[in-house]
Structure 1
Amino acid sequence: MAGISTHVLDVSLGRPVAGMQVELFDVATQPPRLIARTRTNHDGRTDTPMLPPAQARTGEFELRFWVADYFRTPDVFADIVPVRFTIADAAQHYHVPLLCSPWSFGTYRGS
């Protein structure tokens, strides 16, 4: 299955992040074009793919995770976390999770 999906985990509490705003942009255009905007569900996932299989294509994309709005602590380290990546094969599925806390974040290409 092709397309782009994501999920968010709070590593400081060891649980999914519910209610975080996530956006997907096509960054091959100037200015970058917003493709999708949603919030994570109770399982830290989006209810639908950020880019559905029917719209899958090669290109440069950026997911933006609204970390500071979610954690709402005065000492939060990151505001909006951008994750830029390239889809080289539109037939493949790209799952891009975010692992975060109020003070750190990381990502990887999942399955």
Structure 2
Amino acid sequence: MGLSTHVLDTMHGGPAAGMEVALYTTDGTGEDSRATLVKRFALNADGRSDGPLYGDGALKAGTYRLVFDVAGYFKSRGVQLPEPNFLNRVTLDFGVANPDQHYHVPLLVSPWSYSTYRGS
């Protein structure tokens, strides 16, 4: 049914509009796995991609990676980050076992912490 993402900025209490994100397919879950870029995009005003990352029927069983440019986003918001910053990019590796279901990968993030889960 597809893949989507949504990022909430917990420091400012709203969507992470403008955050840069990259989506990759991966060939496994080990440290030596290779990643192939599928697309790069910026999140819209609601902190979401403008459409599904994979639409109906396009998502396949396998492993994927989302990379969120957390430091770039907070710097663009005028947040003074130490150098080196605590979080630069947040990388989420996840698997799709049943592509007939929708996979939603939300991220809750601040300059110092993040959490994720499989949403609906």
CA distance in 2, matches of 1:63, 1:102: 18
CA contact (8 A) 1:71 1:102 kept: yes
Partner of 1:71: 74
Partner of 1:105: 114
CA distance in 1, matches of 2:56, 2:36: 19
CA contact (8 A) 1:36 1:51 kept: no
Cα distance per residue 1:32-52 (max 9 Å; x no partner): 111121100001011011222
Normalising to structure 2: TM-score of the pair? 0.86
CA contact (8 A) 1:99 1:107 kept: yes
Offset at residue 54 of structure 1 (A): 3.1
Superposed CA RMSD? 1.3
Amino acid at match of 2:19: M
Cα distance per residue 1:13-61 (max 9 Å; x no partner): 2100100011110011763111121100001011011222231110000
**Aligned partner of 2:46 among 28, 43, 46:** 43
Normalising to structure 1: TM-score of the pair? 0.92
CA distance in 1, matches of 2:27, 2:2: 17
> Structure 1 stretches of 5 or more lacking a match?
none
CA contact (8 A) 1:21 1:66 kept: yes
The sequence identity of aligned pairs, in percent, is 45
Offset at residue 66 of structure 1 (A): 0.5
1:1-111 correspondence to structure 2 within 5 Å: 2-28=1-27, 31-72=34-75, 73-75=80-82, 76-111=85-120
**Which structure has the bigger radius of gyration?**
2
